[in-house]
Structure 1
Amino acid sequence: MSTIQTPAATVEVTAKDCNDNGTVFCPNPKMALWSNHPRVFIDLSHGGQGQCPYCGTAYKLKAGEVVGGHH
């Protein structure tokens, strides 16, 4: 019997959504409380995207956004 998995969400963020070091945290404030897992920081400063190891939510910078002090 195979299990059908729902694709994880992709969250587009702006540089303002990121911490000073180019990270965002998951679960993010918009997620439902029932879906909480330990808070992890996703580094977007290298390549502009990352994925949560717990829930699979992908985070990516919106087009044209830059983090990590690279102007």
Structure 2
Amino acid sequence: MSKNPTANQPPVELVASDLMGPGVVACPNPKMTLWSTHPKVYIDVVTAGEGKCPYCSTVYRLKAGEVVHGHH
């Protein structure tokens, strides 16, 4: 049995309105059932189009074609 319940989960797809601050998303996110399993971290998803949580390995990815204003 895996110790990491999110290891085999598909990426979390994001739209621009899901982002906080300068193109980041917080993990754990409010939709997670185990929201308190690790400290809150902010993951940059704008620079590479996706980012991975260093604690739970959840991958957050911008939806294809999504435009984030103020970033190129």
Range of TM-score over shorter length: 0.7 to 0.9
Identity %: 55
Moved over 2 A (4+): 3-6, 33-36
Cα RMSD over matched residues?
2.3
- Distance across 2 between alignment mates of 1:39 and 1:68: 25
Aligned residues: 69
Query: What TM-score does the superposition give when structure 2 sets the normalisation length?
Result: 0.79
Query: What TM-score does the superposition give when structure 1 sets the normalisation length?
Result: 0.80
Give 1 or 2: higher helix fraction: 1
- Distance across 2 between alignment mates of 1:61 and 1:34: 21
1:27-66 paired onto structure 2 within 5 Å: 27-33=28-34, 36-66=37-67
Answer with 1 or 2: which has the greater Rg. 1
Gaps of 5+ in 2: none
